[in-house]
Amino acid sequence: MITELIKIRGLMQNHDDFVRAGNLLKNGEVVAIPTETVYGLAANAFNPDAVKKIFKAKGRPGDNPLIVHISDFDDLSKVAVDIPEKAVTLAEKFWPGPLTMILKKSAKIPPEVTAGLATVAVRFPSHMYARAIIEAAGVPLAAPSANLSGKPSPTSALHVIRDMSGRIPMIIDGGECEVGLESTVIDLTGDIPVLLRPGGVTLRELRDAVGEVSVNKKILEEVNDDEQVASPGMKYKHYAPSSPVVIAEGETGAFVKYVTDNIKNKNIAILCFEEEKALFDGMGVSVFTYGRLSHPKELAHGLFSALRNLDEFTFDVIYARMPKADDGISLAIVNRLSRAAAFSKVVL
């Protein structure tokens, strides 16, 4: 299959391209689209055959459900039923934006989207082009991240091309994704909302909006093979470069010493904060950074891109630095990076 890449300059300038993307989606095809979080691999959420194509293009396990994207508050009632008060509050506060809510699914959503679950994940993205494409398609769009299963989520069209070229008919290039990590996922089907995946909307913001929110333990812990999980995505390793990643926890000084001590017999890369970079000058170690520790949003924005850059090379080990988990965006960074490291770490 030939993949067409369309660079968007503006809603007006590329009006015809949005119509074409919408038509492909109407006709049961898959199109990669930009969103404010990461790129998505979209198909008509009401069409089971179209949705199956997403799983095929990604190599995604069939038991991992997709997020349904809408471009209007009114569309929520088409995809979900029995919407609780807290979901309405969260939608008013954070939609459009990087928040996905788990709700009871409507009969219109086929089991292919939800992997047979009685619940559906719904998100109203804020990205102008994502909204324009949903509108052009005229239906809600099921879309996981547009990476091959197991690779880091794509935050630029180049990442999507790498993974999806030849597998789908069209990629819409809307530039770099602002947030850089996938949306926050919150389950609203019980009495107390449960955070299933931290993301752009933080735990602090969620609690400010609806009071008590519990945090699924598996956000910061490894899942064993035989374990039941609240969100199927938690079972999969995800986000991993091909070389082994080990989290290096401790002060900067101790980290520099550790790398110095280990450099002699190993081909080492480090993924560190911008503030630490100069300390490794001339040391013979490959240095990658993903933003300033003092600006966690920058770290979130740069993480997946850095993991993809690391994946271009082979190292004996990649030592990665991460911020402390809190109730802000750092929780999401720690969640993604810990999983990229398969939870292995050294405490310095």
Please report whether residue 202 would count as binding ligand TXA according to CB under 6 A.
no
The residue (of 24 and 113) whose beta carbon lies closer to ligand TXA is 113
Please name every residue paired with 44 in a beta bridge, in sequence order, or none if there are none. Answer: 141
User: How far apart are the C-alpha atoms of 108 and 148, rounded to whole Å?
Assistant: 28
Please report whether residue 97 would count as binding ligand TXA according to CB under 6 A.
no
**Which of 143, 157, 213, 245 lies at the binding interface for ligand TXA (CB under 6 A)?**
143
Q: Which range in 21-29, 75-83, 111-119, 289-297 contacts ligand TXA by CB under 6 A?
A: 111-119
163 binds, among Mg ion, ligand TXA, none (CB under 5 to 8 A by kind): none
Please report whether residue 183 would count as binding Mg ion according to CB under 5 A.
no
- The mark string for 212-231 relative to ligand TXA (x by CB under 6 A, - otherwise) is -------------------x
**Contact residues for 248 (Cβ-Cβ < 8 A; gap 6+):** 255, 258, 270, 319, 320, 321, 345, 346, 348
Q: Which of residues 230-269 bind ligand TXA (CB under 6 A)?
A: 231-233
Q: Which of residues 219-258 bind Mg ion (CB under 5 A)?
A: none
Q: Which of residues 144-163 bind Mg ion (CB under 5 A)?
A: 145
Find the residue with minimal CB distance to Mg ion.
Answer: 145
List the one residue out of 176, 64, 200, 61 whose CA is nearest residue 123: 200
The residue (of 87 and 185) whose beta carbon lies closer to ligand TXA is 185
Q: How far apart are the first and last CA of the chain?
A: 50
**Contact residues for 16 (Cβ-Cβ < 8 A; gap 6+):** none
Q: Which of residues 117-146 bind Mg ion (CB under 5 A)?
A: 145
Is residue 90 a contact partner of residue 73, using CB atoms and an 8 Å limit?
no
The residue (of 119 and 145) whose beta carbon lies closer to Mg ion is 145
**Which of 29, 31, 37, 205 lies at the binding interface for ligand TXA (CB under 6 A)?**
37
Q: Which range in 59-67, 133-141, 162-170, 301-309 contacts ligand TXA by CB under 6 A?
A: 59-67
250 binds, among ligand TXA, Mg ion, none (CB under 5 to 8 A by kind): none
Q: Which of residues 273-302 bind ligand TXA (CB under 6 A)?
A: none
Give contact residues for ligand TXA (rule: CB under 6 A).
35, 37-38, 40, 64-67, 100, 102, 114, 117, 119-121, 123, 143-145, 182-183, 185, 196, 231-233
> What are the residues binding Mg ion (CB under 5 A)?
145
